[in-house]
Amino acid sequence: MLALIARALISGAMIVAIAEIGKRLPAMGALVASLPLVSVLGMMLLWHARPDAENMAVHAQATFWYVLPSLPMFLLIPVLLRHGIGFWLSLLAGCVLTVLLYLLMVHLGPRLGLKV
């Protein structure tokens, strides 16, 4: 239970740090947010729990494929904001697009060798 609390605190601290950096330096906040810190931390914890090279290889490869559907959101949101659409609606549209693209990836994933 203590390990779970520690993981939650580390994750929360990373989110707060990104938000604080982003307040002062938006591009730097974006750079830090784009780092695969959560993925690396997740892989470390997964390896600690189950040190299996094939399992880790499948996890890392699947992470690559599942990152791709989220990327268009980061193009759609600024376009909508610059065209006068409010933040919350732009964010919602970006999230809806991401969900649709994730569903497409889950459908197409097995054809790409992704174990769903």
What is the tens place of the pLDDT at every residue in 107-116?
A: 988 887 777 6
How far apart, in whole angstroms, are the C-alpha atoms of residue 105 and residue 90? 22
How far apart, in whole angstroms, are the C-alpha atoms of residue 84 and residue 101? 24
Residue 77 has pLDDT above 90, yes or no: yes
Higher pLDDT, 22 or 97: 97
Residue 3 has pLDDT above 90, yes or no: no
DSSP label of 20: H
| Mean local confidence (pLDDT), 1-7 | 81
pTM for this structure?
0.75
